[in-house]
Chains A and B, each alone.
Chain A
């Protein structure tokens, strides 16, 4: 257990569905991240939030919409996804964005399949 939880762990959705992924961290961290991990590709950073403000949007299509209501919770809202969006979606948190001693802690991920 890393102190970062994600729900659901598995999700199957059609291309017309709307769903949300949830991440919660119990570490008192100030920064949270969404990553996408596809087969045979490096981890792709999607969004970064610091103190509930979005500081990074890594050219992610608008069918992915993040929300950070407070420093402990992060959501990823999904709508009209494509089959190529099927991947493992990982949430991570860290105390700060940069500086010595700062490391990221990952949640278990949500395995998403888009049909």
Chain B
């Protein structure tokens, strides 16, 4: 059973701080890693994806991947109240397999 684990939170950070969201996965052969943001009552929207070890930056968002330790993280710099949402980690294993989602981490940015 391929699993993706996330701390459900809530993770509370003050406005302007760095929010760090973590995700671990069980399938060592996993190839692709995605972060989705889901506002309450809305469908998920893709924020970032990463395939290679290391960091990938896009604006205020940085995804970090460590395949040896089987974790992927999302950093949000200069957090804003509008970043308050549930962040879903999704992992694609080896081969032609659909994404496996974690339960999500609820982030609350306090003004």
Contacts and interface: CB of A to CB of B under 8 A. Distances in A.
If over half of A's interface residues share one DSSP class (helix, strand or loop), that class is named, otherwise mixed; here it is loop
Given A41-B103, A42-B102, A103-B34, 20 more contacts: A2-B45, A42-B101, A42-B103, A42-B104, A43-B44, A45-B99, A48-B98, A56-B98, A97-B96, A98-B96, A98-B97, A102-B32, A103-B46, A104-B34, A104-B46, A104-B99, A106-B45, A107-B43, A108-B43, A109-B43
Nearest to A98: B96
Interface of B: 4, 31-32, 34, 42-46, 49, 51, 88, 90, 92, 95-104
Contacts of A102: 32
If over half of B's interface residues share one DSSP class (helix, strand or loop), that class is named, otherwise mixed; here it is loop
Contacts of B45: 2, 106
Contact of B98 (A41, A97, A100, A106): A97
A2 B99 CA distance: 18
Contacts of A106: 43-45
A104 B49 CA distance: 11
Contact of B49 (A48, A55, A103): A103
A81 interface: no
Interface of A: 2, 33, 40-43, 45, 48, 55-56, 88, 90, 97-98, 100, 102-109
Contacts of A109: 43
A90 to B, nearest CB: 6
Given A42-B4, A100-B51, A108 B46 contact: no
A21 B1 CA distance: 29
Most buried by B among A90, A100, A103, A107: A103
Nearest to B4: A42
Contacts of A107: 43
Contacts of B103: 40-42
Nearest to A35: B101
A29 to B, nearest CB: 14
